[in-house]
Amino acid sequence: MNRKLLLSLVLLFAITFSFSQTKEELEAQKAEKQAEADKFQGEANALQAQINALPGWRVGAFGTIGGSLSGFNNWFAQGAPNNNSGNIGITVNGFANLIEDKFFWRNALTTNLNWVKLDDTDTNLDSDDFNATTDVFNLSSLYGRKLNEKWAISGLAEYRTTLIDNFNDPGFLDLGVGATWTPLENLIVVIHPLNYNFVFAKNDAAFTSSAGAKIVADYTRQIGAVAFKTNFSTFQSYEDSDLSNFTWTNSLSYTLWKMIGVGFDFALRSNKQEAANFQGVDLADADNKLQTYYTLGLSYKF
């Protein structure tokens, strides 16, 4: 009996030692492969950096798509027991940049559109259509002649309006010249002291064009599965501070699987002329509250 017990213990120890050796060997092999993979990834990143530094076009885009649809029939716990509702939103951030040794031409598009529907089927007084709730459109084009690696003499055209409702009413067009500073590869700072802010609108009493300074800071970067963009654009009028405005937009996209992920957009804006037009008051009497919006949903990397 003791001999059988001893043999069993020896066999158990041998099996345990064998498994232990196998696990250690596998972990060692994994560490070697991971070191090789890190080495190759570093070489690939270095090659990509060289490719990015070459003259030519850089084109890309990422966006956020969010939506939901629902229908209720005889759901008496709520105020409208019979209704159809839905929400659809889309955000697109795109760029097309031409980078050459002596000049650059950077073009960017930002748009955020959202529709909401609430159709109470028990009444004909409401709308059964999707109605726009978020409507943002911004297009910019920046051209610069390089003085050195960080500074350039530049000209900027930036246009912003709405697409779904009241297109170009109002519409803001900035045209100006000055300098562009590129302290980092992904950071662009535009400083244009000579700028004119054209305002297009049917209500001339609320909107006035004026000369002023234009400042834009844009940081766009992708790190692994994360794509990030922040853009701050401000116009400071030389004629009246009430004619000044700023918009700050932020977009974040995290890829979870292939080209699909999660996206988040957030923006702030201050524009007293828009506030006066909406409130139907004189510019001096407008309550210029801070404007905000956010969008959260699925993202798709183009």
Neighbours of 196 (CB within 10 A): 14
- Among the residue ranges 9-13, 26-30, 215-219, 278-282, the one predicted with the least confidence is 9-13
| Tens-digit pLDDT profile for residues 147-190 | 999 999 999 999 999 888 888 888 999 999 999 999 998 899 99
Long-range contact pairs involving 221-229 (C-beta distance under 8 Å, separation at least 24): 221/186, 225/254, 225/255, 225/256, 225/261, 226/252, 226/253, 226/254, 226/255, 227/62, 227/251, 227/252, 227/253, 227/254, 227/255, 227/301, 228/252, 228/253, 229/93
Q: Are 264 and 249 in contact (CB under 8 A)?
A: no
CA 42 to chain CA centroid, nearest Å: 28
Of 24-38, 127-141, 165-179, 221-235, least confident by mean pLDDT is 24-38
Cβ atoms within 10 Å, residue 135 = 18
Taking the whole predicted model, whether its pTM rises above 0.85 is answered as: no
Q: Which two tokens stand for residue 142?
A: 């920046």
How buried is residue 177: exposed, middle or buried, by Cβ count under 10 Å (0-12/13-18/19+)?
middle
Does domain 57-301 fall under CATH 2.60.40? My reply is: no
The tokens for 41 are 């990834």
The predicted pLDDT at position 120 comes to 82
User: Is the bond into 170 cis (omega within 30 degrees of 0)?
Assistant: yes
**pLDDT tens profile 93-112:** 889 999 999 999 999 999 98
Residue 286 to residue 229: CA distance in whole angstroms: 32
Tens digit of pLDDT for each residue in 13-57?
A: 555 555 555 667 777 777 887 887 777 777 776 776 667 666 789
Q: Where are the beta strands (DSSP E) in the chain?
A: 56-72, 83-99, 103-120, 131-146, 151-161, 171-184, 187-200, 210-223, 226-237, 245-257, 260-271, 291-301
* One-letter amino acid for residue 234 of the chain: T
Half-sphere exposure of 255 (CA within 13 A, CB side): 15
In sequence order, the β-bridge partners of residue 64 are 91, 299
Which tops the pLDDT comparison, 85 or 50? 85
CA-only gyration radius of the chain, Å: 29
